[in-house]
Amino acid sequence: MRVLHLSDLHLTPTQHRKIEWVRSLAHLEPDFVLDTGDNFAHVNALPALTRALAPLLEFPGAFVMGSNDYYAPRFKNPARYLLPDARIPFTSSTPNLPAAELGRHLSRAGWLDLSNTRDRAVIGNTTFDFVGVDDPHIDRDVYPEAQTMPESSPEAPAVRVGVVHAPYTRVLNAMHDDQCSMIIAGHTHGGQLCVPGFGALVTNCDIDRGRARGLHGWPYARPDMRGGEESCWLHVSGGLGTSPYAPVRFACRPEATLLTLIPA
């Protein structure tokens, strides 16, 4: 089973090459698409975003929102990212982005809105039990209550997947304790500005720098320690974009990721 993971498009209306590249991902013919948020980088980007995602909406999918689906980006001192908590409180003067309109558009296409909720999808012959939260980076996360089913139930989920925009450890730990086999996240931009041979300098959240992007185990770092009581898989996307106020990446290429899932 192939899952296409998109994150952090940070799209503006004039990014025509990015729009066409995202559209071209449909040729991969994924079985499922997961969008982990921060789709916008401009208050007028909704038409461009719906065009970019249109071919992918032909496939089953699910999504959560990030802070830059709710609030427009704004200039801030880049040195803030070196602080333990780089967040700036959002105020009523911050322009709102059309997150609700985007959510309705994706939901009408059949994608699951996993903001602080659980849902299920049958993909092929496998039932996936999704659990998601709204963006922890702006404290919108409310972990949904567990839903237990009898072991003998034919509808019992086979695979549980956690979905979140920003991989804060409190959410990752909750999803691990919730027996998720895999957690999908974005937000970090892979560090965005990296040092060759050293990696990310910051993650813009409280996850360690070594897991700023890519596939790892959680809570253990060794990928072979996964599942059950030890560790689950964690995939953090390096993302496709940047803030328009810091449109630079170094040693950290933008990405979308095709994850191939096989039986345990």
Q: How does pLDDT run across 116-127, given as a tens digit for each residue?
A: 999 999 998 899
Q: Which domains does the chain have, with CATH numbers?
A: 2-75+95-146+154-260 (3.60.21)
- For 234-262, the pLDDT digits (tens) are 999 999 999 888 899 999 999 999 999 99
- This prediction has a pTM of 0.90
Cα dihedral sign for 115, 121, 123, 127?
A: positive
Name residues whose C-beta falls within 8 Å of residue 50's C-beta, 6 or more positions apart in sequence: 102, 105
Q: Is residue 47's pLDDT more than 80? A: yes
Q: Let me know: does 200 contact 178? Beta carbons within 8 Å.
A: no
Structure-token pair, residue 262: 């096989």
